Amino acid sequence: MSTSVSKGKKWRKNVIWGILLLAVAGVIYISYFLITIYGATKEAYVELERPEGNSELREEAVTVGSEDPISILLMGVDDYDPSGHNGRADSLIVVTLNPNTKQITMTTIPRDTRVEFSTEEAGPYAGFHKINAAYMYGSMFDHGGHKLTVEKVEKLLDIPIDEYVAVNFDGFKDIVNVLGGVTVDIKEPFWEKNFYSVDEERIYFTKGKKKLDGEEALAFVRMRKREVNNVYSREERQRQFIKASIDEVISTNTLFKIGEIANILGENIKTSLSPMEIFRLQQTYASINTSTIKTFKIDGEDQRVNNIYYFIPTEEGLSNTSQRLKEELELGEQEKINNEIEWD
By the 8 A CB rule, do 160 and 57 touch? yes
The pLDDT tens digits for 219-241 are: 999 887 767 777 898 889 999 99
> Residue 46: what pLDDT?
85
Lowest mean pLDDT among 48-52, 301-305, 307-311: 48-52
Residue 14 in this model has a pLDDT that exceeds 60? no
Q: What is the pTM of this model?
A: 0.82
The pLDDT tens digits for 171-190 are: 889 888 988 899 999 999 99
Q: Would you place residue 81 in the very low, low, confident or very high pLDDT band (cuts 50, 70, 90)? A: low
> Residue 147: what pLDDT?
94
Tell me which H or E stretch contains 271.
strand 269-271
Q: Bridge partners of 192? A: 203
> Residue 148: what pLDDT?
95
Nearest CA-CA partner of 241 in 165, 298, 293, 311: 293
The pLDDT tens digits for 137-175 are: 998 988 789 999 999 999 999 999 999 999 888 888 988
Residue 97 in this model has a pLDDT that exceeds 50? yes
Question: What are the CA-CA distances from residue 151 to residues 57, 206, 240, 274, 286 (Å)?
Answer: 10, 39, 26, 20, 29
100: left (phi over 0), alpha (psi -120 to 50) or beta: alpha
